[in-house]
Amino acid sequence: DAKTTQPNSMESNEEEPVHLPCNHSTISGTDYIHWYRQLPSQGPEYVIHGLTSNVNNRMASLAIAEDRKSSTLILHRATLRDAAVYYCILRRYGGSQGNLIFGKGTKLSVKP
């Protein structure tokens, strides 16, 4: 599986936008970009995923660079509840396995 690189930690103020970067310079054409987050003392939860185009859902937006070597998860208005570890994960299209390969992620702190 292709590797992703994320900052260890980031800080944000409540109600401000947050941009969480992810580098994946070895991404292949069939790799989907997935984001999960893990709130304290909970299991991970799905946030968003995309292949080439930018994606929006009720939780966040995903901006994917034109060359797909990087992406950014955007939380439009951070809340205290968004404090979590955010994982950027690549999943290969057509694979027979649904395995998610987790890195260490980015720990997001949100200040009131």
Partner 1 sequence: NAGVTQTPKFQVLKTGQSMTLQCAQDMNHEYMSWYRQDPGMGLRLIHYSVGAGITDQGEVPNGYNVSRSTTEDFPLRLLSAAPSQTSVYFCASSYSAARTGETQYFGPGTRLLVL
Contacts with partner 1, residue ranges (CB under 8 A): 32, 36, 41-46, 49, 87, 91-105
Using the minimum distance from each CB to partner 1, give the nearer residue, 13 or 28. Answer: 28
Euclidean distance between CA atoms 84 and 36, whole angstroms: 10
Using the minimum distance from each CB to partner 1, give the nearer residue, 16 or 101. Answer: 101
Using the minimum distance from each CB to partner 1, give the nearer residue, 43 or 112. Answer: 43
Using the minimum distance from each CB to partner 1, give the nearer residue, 17 or 93. Answer: 93
Minimum gap (Å) between residue 57 Cβ and partner 1: 11
Minimum gap (Å) between residue 93 Cβ and partner 1: 5
Minimum gap (Å) between residue 87 Cβ and partner 1: 7
Quick one: tokens of 87? Answer: 């994982």
Q: Which residues pair with 9 in a beta bridge?
A: 107
Give yes or no for a contact between 107 and 18, defined as CB atoms under 8 angstroms apart.
no
In single-letter form, the type of residue at position 90 comes to L
Residue 12, classed as helix, strand or coil, is: strand
Radius of gyration of the chain (CA): 13
